[in-house]
Amino acid sequence: MIARMAQTMTTPDLRHLISRLLPRPILTATFIWDWSRWRREHQVVAAIAHRKTRNNTQL
């Protein structure tokens, strides 16, 4: 039966099924704060690099 289902299911269907069966990681408050801080810092660095590139290409 599983082989028959695998033949009729599309790749997105299989991915969705597998993702629903796998346990989700537990996010701690520390992880969320650390990720948020890293993201804000990364956005600042990216914005500076973007401005440098835009300023250097203008005549």
Would you say residue 2 has pLDDT above 70?
Answer: no
Q: Considering the entire predicted model, what is its pTM? A: 0.50
pLDDT at 6 > cutoff 70: no
- Residue 46's identity, in one-letter code, is A
pLDDT of residue 14: 86
Give the model confidence (pLDDT) of 9-52 as tens digits.
Answer: 888 988 998 989 998 888 899 999 999 999 999 999 999 999 98
Annotated domain spans of the chain: 2-57
At 3 the pLDDT is: 66
